[in-house]
Amino acid sequence: MGDKENAPPLGARGAAAPRLTRAAAKRAAAAAAAAEGPGDAKRRRVALGELPALANNAGLRAPSCPVKPSKPASRPGRHARNVAPEARGPSSAHEAERCASSPPRTADADAESNSVSNPAPRATAYADSCASSSPPRAAAAGAPADPQLCGSYASDIYTYLRSLEVEPQRRSRPDYIEAVQADVTAHMRGILVDWLVEVAEEYKLVADTLYLAISYVDRFLSVNALGRDKLQLLGVASMLIAAKYEEISPPHPEDFCYITDNTYTKEELLKMESDILKLLKFELGNPTIKTFLRRFTRSAHEDKKVANPFLFMRSILLMEFLGSYLAELSLLDYGCLRFLPSVVAASVMFVARLTIDPNANPWNMKLQKTTGYKVSELKDCIVAIRDLQLNRKFPSLTAIRDKYKQHKFKCVSTLLPPVVVPTSYFEDLAE
């Protein structure tokens, strides 16, 4: 009885049926699918995530002139949306217009395309050819290479930042040392800034963290009188707030207590952090010198015509490092608080270009249009930054100079501008 239960099923004549292997089952399923008619293929249910793969079905045909998708085909989205040609950019709009102007396909052409046994390679190849032809046209139309640069909104963003930097609650008083503080001097502030540069280097913080921290220090000192024994506490608390705002993994409060040689406890640090946030009313995202310097540096690169790519890249790095060096030097000078961050950034670009090429006028119409400043409006700030670069101010504060003497920054702190600047460089350009 047990033998009968385990025995294979019998055929029509009592003989054992042949055993069906997995490979044979797959071949049989493939043959059945091939024999299936077009009507059956049309009735198949398709998951939403499989929408971009519809061209692989024999009954579902790709459009005669596919428009380049806004996302790569290798990463299909969960929701398919129809996008207007104007929203797809110049190249996609051109493709849509070409498809609209082409004659409609006839029934014979449709039947011919349906009779192809494997239409997916043809549709994919045609889509690839359309996609490969789009980038040259997009480049010729002046489309930006990096969409994250937001070229269409750059001018509006810059206008907004310019309006933001002049708001009184986001600016520090240019005379708070004389008007508010009784125990803190400008030189003490310079020592604090010099030390905060070393702290940012120690913990590998981004430049925006440093600029925001010093901005918080100045805004706090513009309102509250502080003793010199609490000045370092104010500096590390401001750095903690800026790091939480800017960094992906900010240092812990214990790290800032350690960097002060445990002069202050964690409770004192957190209490100062709370006081700063209450004073600022949690308005932490004000534009800094670095915010404007990025835009101005990018604009300064566009007018350079260098045939050698290596020399071009070197000039770009030199300009960026030199601009960062001069901008950080301006943080030392309490007198630079009277200038707007955009004015300091524009003056930094003038001095950097003057240092790299003293024989050419460092200002041009493109920079004037980008920054919104004439060179005569920047003269006082340019003189102040040149004095810092020539070591005429704060010669004992060397953290920034030592930082930019490193080879990774192209030793830009060793570069010096000409002692005498031609007066023609300070004349406004003719419109």
Per residue in 328-378, pLDDT (tens digit) is 999 999 999 999 999 999 999 999 999 998 888 888 888 888 888 999 999
Question: Is the Cβ–Cβ distance between 196 and 233 less than 8 Å?
Answer: no
> How far apart, in Å, are the Cα atoms of 281 and each of 23, 169, 242, 288?
71, 9, 14, 18
pLDDT value of position 317: 87
Mean pLDDT of 19-25: 66
pLDDT value of position 302: 63
pLDDT value of position 155: 82
pLDDT value of position 149: 66
| pLDDT higher than 60, residue 209 | yes
Higher-confidence position of 159 and 49:
159
Mean pLDDT of 220-248: 93
- Binned at pLDDT 50, 70 and 90, residue 431 comes out as low
Q: Report which of 130, 115, 122 is spatially closest to residue 69, judged by C-alpha positions.
A: 130
| pLDDT higher than 50, residue 416 | yes
- Binned at pLDDT 50, 70 and 90, residue 75 comes out as very low
| pLDDT higher than 90, residue 272 | yes
| pLDDT higher than 80, residue 269 | yes
Task: Name the least confident of 72-76, 212-216, 237-241, 339-343.
Answer: 72-76
Mean pLDDT of 398-408: 91
CATH 1.10.472.10 fits 171-280, yes or no: yes
Please report, for the chain, the start and end positions of each structural domain, with discontinuous segments joined by +. 171-280, 289-426
| pLDDT higher than 80, residue 178 | yes
| pLDDT higher than 90, residue 90 | no
Mean pLDDT of 243-256: 93
| pLDDT higher than 80, residue 418 | yes
pLDDT value of position 218: 94
Question: Is the Cβ–Cβ distance between 371 and 296 less than 8 Å?
Answer: yes
Higher-confidence position of 41 and 310:
310
Mean pLDDT of 71-93: 41
Spelled out in words, what is the top-level CATH class assigned to the domain 289-426?
Answer: mainly alpha
Among residues of the chain, what percentage have pLDDT more than 90?
37
> How far apart, in Å, are the Cα atoms of 41 and each of 49, 159, 224, 317?
18, 56, 77, 59
Mean pLDDT of 246-260: 92
pLDDT value of position 324: 94
Among residues of the chain, what percentage have pLDDT more than 70?
64
Count other Cβ atoms within 10 Å, centred on residue 386.
Answer: 21
C-alpha neighbours within 13 Å on the C-beta side of residue 141: 12
pLDDT value of position 342: 94
Note whether 171-280 and 289-426 share their fold.
Answer: yes
Higher-confidence position of 152 and 52:
152
pLDDT value of position 321: 93
**What tokens were used for 73?**
């085909």
Buried b (16+ CB within 10 A) or exposed e, 395-404: eebebbbebb
- State pLDDT tens for residues 113-134: 444 344 443 333 333 433 333 3
- Binned at pLDDT 50, 70 and 90, residue 25 comes out as confident
- Binned at pLDDT 50, 70 and 90, residue 47 comes out as very low
**β-strand partners of 10:** 16
pLDDT value of position 276: 95
| pLDDT higher than 60, residue 419 | yes
**β-strand partners of 16:** 10
384 burial type by CB count under 10 A (0-12 exposed, 13-18 middle, 19+ buried): buried
Question: Is the Cβ–Cβ distance between 342 and 165 less than 8 Å?
Answer: yes
